[in-house]
């Protein structure tokens, strides 16, 4: 009998660094998105999932924090789809009154801080 464990197919095609986080864990923090991909969600089959590399700065000690962020938010996916040529993106994620997550623009000071990373 030929017994083996089948290999899982790799869902992500890019290499990511840092802790895994959900988009709601980084709300209202300025981030730099250096790469991203949209893949099928492994939590909810048939739904898309946005995966991106996030880089930001810890204001307390100046440490650079890298994270892999996952989100199934339609509004985030719709906004970022097709913007690979414009990377890196400087933004932050906010939750509006409708309960949905959105990317929002940074002020000049936040852009200046992220530009140093």
Match domain 19-115 to its CATH number in 2.40.160, 3.30.1490, 2.40.50, 1.10.3470.
2.40.50
Residues 42-73: tens digit of each pLDDT: 889 899 999 999 999 887 888 999 999 999 99
Q: Which residues contact 90 (CB under 8 A, 6 or more apart)?
A: 30, 31, 32, 33, 106, 110, 111, 114, 115
Single pTM value for the model: 0.87
3-state secondary structure 13-55: CCCCCCEEEEHHHHCCCCEEEEEEEEEECCCCCCCEEEEEEEE
Encode pLDDT of 9-40 as tens digits: 777 889 999 999 999 999 999 999 999 999 99
């Amino acid at each position: 009998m030929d017994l083996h464990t089948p290999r899982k197919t790799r869902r992500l095609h890019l290499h990511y660094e840092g802790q895994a986080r959900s988009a709601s864990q980084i709300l209202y923090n300025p981030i730099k998105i250096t790469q991203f991909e949209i893949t099928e969600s492994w939590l909810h089959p048939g739904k898309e999932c946005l995966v991106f590399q996030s880089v930001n700065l810890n204001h307390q000690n100046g440490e650079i924090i890298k994270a892999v962020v996952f989100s199934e938010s339609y509004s985030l996916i719709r906004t970022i789809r097709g913007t690979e040529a414009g990377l890196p993106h400087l933004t932050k994620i906010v939750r509006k009154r409708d309960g949905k997550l959105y990317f929002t623009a940074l002020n000049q000071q936040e852009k200046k801080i992220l530009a140093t990373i």
